[in-house]
């Protein structure tokens, strides 16, 4: 009769259980990194400096002084004026996105301080329908500019958008003119407007307020442009240069003023704000 050998289980036999969501793979260098380490670094990869996309609320926390942000316009939300339907109804898309993000629209506006300096902040959120600009986004951006005008405070807009919201048709395109006109009134009164471009800043947003800043800052590697590179290549029948529409390419060609890493952004904004305040006397 065959003899069966049994081995007593000990601690080495137990599998180590790793909690889900504790590790994240960098989209650029493909390294597996401890998630809390990335979060401590403001969601920037410590290996290759890749800047992960972040929600609007995290961006506000990263640049504003603790406890100073006061939101306004939070009750505004989009309606389906065109009864638009593609693969699903626009109303259903809005309901799903509101439930997923816990927000009513693709932009957050408010007052805050950056190193003690009063500012009006406007932050687009790519998590909400790709940060697309519909009537409410246009209204809130314009309202932020009007608030900056009333308070004589600098305006800072953080862009992250796929462009105009197609579900609102030409009404969304009208927001390009509306926001640009509001910013022109700021310029007339010599009130500073700083535009911060993040990944991605494209379409109607890039073609309007995002590129109208007195100072235009970008995060490293951000995709910035109007039409996508594939559309451009198909239109002009030519291969685009390497790095086309990335922040570094735009800086080299004079389209933006400076590229600033997220970990240095708050300090850089404060330095620019102090300089602009001194030069404008506001």
Say yes or no: 75 and 32 in one domain.
no
In this structure, what CATH number is given to the domain that contains residue 198? 3.90.226.10
Mean pLDDT of 226-242: 91
Say yes or no: 175 and 162 in one domain.
yes
Kindly report, residue by residue over 62-94, the tens digit of the pLDDT.
999 999 999 999 999 999 999 999 999 999 999
Say yes or no: 134 and 256 in one domain.
yes
From 11, 27, 52, the end of a domain falls on 52
Domain count, the chain: 2
Question: Measured between alpha carbons, how far is 238 from 235 in angstroms, rounded to an integer?
Answer: 8
**Residues 174, 180, 184, 185, CA torsion sign:** positive
Mean pLDDT of 188-206: 97
Q: Determine, yes or no, domain membership for 128.
A: yes
Residue 127: the pLDDT is 97
Kindly report, residue by residue over 129-183, the tens digit of the pLDDT.
999 999 999 999 999 999 999 999 999 999 999 999 999 999 999 999 999 999 9
- Per-residue pLDDT band for 18 (boundaries 50, 70, 90) equals low
Q: Count Cβ atoms within 10 A of the Cβ of residue 115 and give its class: 0-12 exposed, 13-18 middle, 19 or more buried.
A: middle
Say yes or no: 128 and 200 in one domain.
yes
From 8, 31, 52, the end of a domain falls on 52
Residue 21: the pLDDT is 76
Mean pLDDT of 122-126: 98
Say yes or no: 242 and 129 in one domain.
yes
Say yes or no: 48 and 69 in one domain.
no
Whether the predicted pLDDT of 20 surpasses 90: no
Whether the predicted pLDDT of 123 surpasses 80: yes
Residue 6: the pLDDT is 47
Structural domain of 35 = 19-52
Residue 19: the pLDDT is 63
Say yes or no: 260 and 138 in one domain.
yes
């Amino acid at each position: 009769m065959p003899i069966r050998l049994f081995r007593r289980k000990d601690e080495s036999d137990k599998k180590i259980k790793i909690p889900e969501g504790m590790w994240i793979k960098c989209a650029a260098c493909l390294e597996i990194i401890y998630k809390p380490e990335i979060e401590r670094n403001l969601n920037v990869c410590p290996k290759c400096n890749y800047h992960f996309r972040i929600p609007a609320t995290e961006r506000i926390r990263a640049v504003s002084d603790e406890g100073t942000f006061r939101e306004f316009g939070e009750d505004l939300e989009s309606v389906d004026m065109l009864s638009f339907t593609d693969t699903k109804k626009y109303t259903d898309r809005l309901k799903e996105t509101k439930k997923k993000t816990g927000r009513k629209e693709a932009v957050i506006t408010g007052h805050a301080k950056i190193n003690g300096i009063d500012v009006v902040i406007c932050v687009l959120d790519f998590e909400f329908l790709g940060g697309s600009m519909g009537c409410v986004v246009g209204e809130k951006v314009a309202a932020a500019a009007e608030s900056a005008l009333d308070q004589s405070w600098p305006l800072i807009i953080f862009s992250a958008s796929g462009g105009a919201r197609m579900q609102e048709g030409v009404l969304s395109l009208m927001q390009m003119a509306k926001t640009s006109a509001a910013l022109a009134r700021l310029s007339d009164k010599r009130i500073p407007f700083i535009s911060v471009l993040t990944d991605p800043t494209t379409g109607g947003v890039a073609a309007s307020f995002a590129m109208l800043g007195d100072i235009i800052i970008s995060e490293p590697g951000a995709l910035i442009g109007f039409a996508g590179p594939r559309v451009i290549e198909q239109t002009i029948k030519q291969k685009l240069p390497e790095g086309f529409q990335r922040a570094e390419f735009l800086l080299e060609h004079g389209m933006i003023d400076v590229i600033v890493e997220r970990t240095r952004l708050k300090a850089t904004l404060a330095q620019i704000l102090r300089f602009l305040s001194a030069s404008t006397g506001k």
